Amino acid sequence: MDLTGRTALVTGAASGIGRACATRLAAAGATVRLVDLNREALDELAQRGIGEPHHVDLTDLDAVDTVARGVDIVVNNAGVQTVCPVHEFPPERFSMMVKLMLEAPFRIVRAALPHMYARNWGRIINISSVHGLRASAYKSAYVAAKHGLEGFSKVVALEGAPHGVTSNCINPGYVRTPLVEQQIADQARAHGIPASDVVETVLLARSPIKRLIEPAEVAEMVAYLCCPEASFINGASLTIDGAWSAS
Among this protein's residues, is 142 annotated catalytic?
Answer: yes
Q: Tell me, what DSSP letter sits at residue 237?
A: E
Per CB under 6 A, does 178 bind ligand NAD? yes
Per CB under 6 A, does 37 bind ligand NAD? yes
Reduced DSSP (H G I as helix, E B as strand, rest coil) percent helix, strand, coil of the chain, to 5 = 50, 15, 30
96 closest CA partner among 116, 82, 110: 82
Per CB under 6 A, does 168 bind ligand NAD? no
Per CB under 6 A, does 136 bind ligand NAD? no
Of the residues 23, 31, 77, 153, which one makes contact with ligand NAD according to CB under 6 A: 77
Decide: 201 and 158 in contact? Cβ < 8 Å: no
Per CB under 6 A, does 180 bind ligand NAD? yes
Counting residues that bind ligand NAD (by CB under 6 A) gives 27
77 closest CA partner among 182, 176, 172: 172
Of the residues 51, 105, 172, 242, which one makes contact with ligand NAD according to CB under 6 A: 172
Pairwise CA distance, residues 172 & 239, whole Å: 6
Of the residues 16, 148, 160, 242, which one makes contact with ligand NAD according to CB under 6 A: 16
**Taking the mean position of all CA atoms in its chain, how far away is CA 126?**
5
Which chain residues interact with ligand NAD by CB under 6 A? 12, 14-18, 36-38, 56-59, 77-80, 100, 127, 129, 172, 174-175, 177-180
